[in-house]
């Protein structure tokens, strides 16, 4: 403790000087924002209680990183991050009997988790870790002081701390000023930071999407120069960062950064591949620009919470176009069956990124269905076609409505109005048929037991074939009464040589 105490004795002056410098350099940050962390302590006594327990045990404790950043931005949640000079065994001893629950899943990285009064607390020993530069896995070494711990963090806006229970503010790398200026900068050089963990390049784009901040030129230059280092990061870690980026308040900014810096080429090359493909609907922009507009439209239509499945489907809906591009004798560009190719590519890419099977299946289904609506306005759809549209979409129908509407990006106002009117008419027609026929539960008019009894056959593939035939008839004709359904089943059975 002596070395740590000596270091901390020097910190208040440096901390006060840093805070004064930050205040003078950050006129855009309001008093209310500067006081947000202190207000957090007032309304959340749990942090102070924990700080006093650490102090009584002879250790220091600091609210740190994203928790401080989010408190200053007025968006703090129920997850609080702390750092300390106490080692994991010490932390466990301190929180024993006070925490309602503890977990040690991050123990190898010096992190102990605890829960108290609805708050999730993660307490991590000061780090001075390095990376092996091959796998990019951290080699954890415990540090001895707060300032060194803050230096190893990804960005300056995440390198601020507030002590508990003392509430002194530590900002050695100008994070407060960068927060006010809305910029993303690293505590050390960008190359050092990204060399330690290349995932931080993806995180920079994610923060740009989440917070609307601007990546500093030297940070961007390092992202471009070191993009290939992302290959050493596991698919799961990349997936998690990308998901957060796509669910950001401004995913378009983050996606552009990924493409422009060459990061997308390392894990989502289909996105960059859209950039040179001219969209047949509007030749003033390429498919890449069209796709970003569709994502933006989907964000607007999705509702109060991020709908990752809808956003991902919007992002991937046209990835089949490069492989299906053709130019006719009249010079017109076409992309026939690009939705089929796109669905296959989407499945392959999301599997490679280790997304769960249920998430993949929903995104793939939406990509495969996104063109189904076009042509409806020509009056060619029968009630049977509407039933099939609803049945094929299933539970994804509300998302398919939003995706289809998002895909209308034409600047031709007359055409845009007509498409919107046509889809309004389709939704009204669906609602009418649903009310009459309960389309959400389209199924054959006879179940498996009735089929076996009527045909006199045991369970097996034949029953499934008969069931599927009856479902096709249900979609084609609408509901049938019992006598009609039995007559249709017997007619089909005769064609199969089953009944006389």
Over residues 474-487, the pLDDT tens digits come to 766 666 777 777 77
Q: Which fold would CATH assign to domain 184-267? A: Hydrophobic Seed Protein (1.10.110)
The CATH H-level (homologous superfamily) assignment of domain 2-181 is: Beta Polymerase, domain 2 (3.30.460.10)
Are 426 and 376 in contact, with CB atoms under 8 Å apart?
Answer: yes
The pTM of the full predicted model, rounded to 2 decimals, is: 0.78
Q: Alpha helix (H) ranges present in 26-169?
A: 31-34, 36-43, 45-56, 66-72, 88-95, 146-151
- Pairing status of strand 119-125 against strand 333-334: unpaired
Q: In this predicted structure, what is the pLDDT of residue 278? A: 53
- CA-CA distance, 76 to 493, in Å (whole number)? 65
Are 51 and 165 in contact, with CB atoms under 8 Å apart?
Answer: yes
CB contact set of 127 (below 8 Å; sequence gap of 6+): 83, 109, 110, 140, 141, 142, 143, 149, 152
* Residue 417: its H or E element: helix 413-437
Selection from 39, 60, 67, 27 nearest residue 160 by Cα: 67
Q: In this predicted structure, what is the pLDDT of residue 476? A: 67
Q: In this predicted structure, what is the pLDDT of residue 23? A: 39
- DSSP assignment string, 206-222: HHHHHH-PEEPHHHHHH
- CA-CA distance, 104 to 91, in Å (whole number)? 11
CB contact set of 225 (below 8 Å; sequence gap of 6+): 191
**Coil, helix or strand for 125?**
strand
Instruction: Verify cis geometry, omega within 30 degrees of 0, for the bond prior to 63.
Output: no
Q: In this predicted structure, what is the pLDDT of residue 244? A: 96
**Residues with pLDDT less than 70, the chain:** 1-43, 129-140, 276-285, 375-380, 435-446, 475-479, 499-500
Phi then psi dihedrals of residue 40, to 5 deg: -60, -45
Are 130 and 148 in contact, with CB atoms under 8 Å apart?
Answer: no
Are 455 and 440 in contact, with CB atoms under 8 Å apart?
Answer: no
**Coil, helix or strand for 441?**
helix
User: Count of CB atoms within 10 A of residue 353's CB?
Assistant: 17
Q: In this predicted structure, what is the pLDDT of residue 36? A: 67
Phi then psi dihedrals of residue 111, to 5 deg: -110, 130
């Amino acid at each position: 403790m002596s070395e740590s105490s000596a270091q901390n004795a020097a910190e208040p002056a440096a901390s006060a000087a840093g805070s004064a410098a930050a205040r003078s350099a950050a006129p855009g940050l309001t008093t209310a924002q500067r006081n947000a962390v202190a207000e957090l302590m007032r309304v959340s006594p749990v942090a102070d209680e924990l700080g006093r327990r650490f102090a009584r045990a002879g250790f220091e404790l600091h609210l740190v990183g994203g928790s401080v950043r989010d408190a200053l931005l007025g968006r703090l949640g129920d997850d609080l991050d702390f750092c300390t000079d106490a080692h994991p065994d010490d932390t466990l001893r301190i929180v024993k009997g006070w925490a309602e629950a503890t977990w040690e899943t991050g123990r190898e990285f010096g992190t102990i988790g605890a829960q108290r009064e609805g708050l999730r607390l993660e307490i991590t020993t000061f780090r001075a870790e390095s990376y092996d530069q091959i796998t990019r896995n951290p080699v954890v070494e415990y540090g001895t002081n707060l300032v060194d711990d803050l230096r190893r963090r990804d960005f300056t806006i995440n390198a601020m701390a507030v002590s508990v229970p003392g509430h002194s503010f530590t900002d050695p790398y100008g994070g407060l000023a960068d927060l006010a200026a809305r910029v993303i900068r690293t505590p050390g050089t960008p190359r050092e930071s990204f060399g330690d963990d290349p995932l931080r390049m993806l995180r920079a784009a994610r923060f740009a999407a989440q917070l609307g901040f601007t990546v500093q030129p030297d940070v961007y230059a390092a992202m471009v120069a070191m993009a290939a280092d992302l290959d050493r990061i596991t698919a799961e870690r990349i997936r998690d960062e990308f998901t957060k980026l796509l669910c950001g308040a401004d995913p378009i900014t983050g996606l552009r950064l990924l493409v422009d810096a060459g990061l997308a080429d390392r894990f989502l090359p289909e996105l960059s591949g859209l950039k040179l493909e001219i969209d047949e609907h509007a030749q003033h922009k390429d498919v890449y620009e069209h796709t970003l507009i569709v994502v933006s439209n989907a964000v607007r239509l999705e509702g109060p919470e991020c709908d990752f499945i809808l956003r991902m489907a919007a992002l991937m809906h046209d990835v089949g176009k490069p492989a299906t591009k053709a130019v006719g004798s009249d010079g017109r560009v076409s992309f026939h069956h690009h939705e089929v190719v796109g669905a296959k590519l989407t499945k392959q890419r999301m599997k490679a990124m280790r997304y769960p099977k249920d998430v993949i299946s929903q995104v793939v289904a939406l990509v495969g269905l996104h063109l189904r609506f076009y042509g409806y306005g020509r009056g060619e759809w029968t009630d049977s076609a509407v039933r099939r549209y609803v049945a094929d979409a299933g539970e994804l129908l509300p998302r398919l409505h939003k995706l289809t509407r998002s895909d209308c990006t034409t600047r031709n106002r007359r055409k845009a109005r007509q498409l919107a009117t046509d889809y309004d008419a389709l939704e009204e027609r669906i609602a009418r048929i649903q009310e009459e026929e309960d389309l959400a539960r389209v199924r054959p008019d006879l179940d498996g037991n009735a089929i076996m009894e009527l045909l006199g056959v045991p369970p097996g593939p034949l029953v499934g074939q008969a069931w599927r035939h009856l479902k096709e008839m249900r979609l084609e004709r609408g509901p049938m009464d019992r006598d009609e359904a039995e007559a249709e089943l017997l007619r089909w059975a005769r064609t199969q040589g089953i009944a006389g």
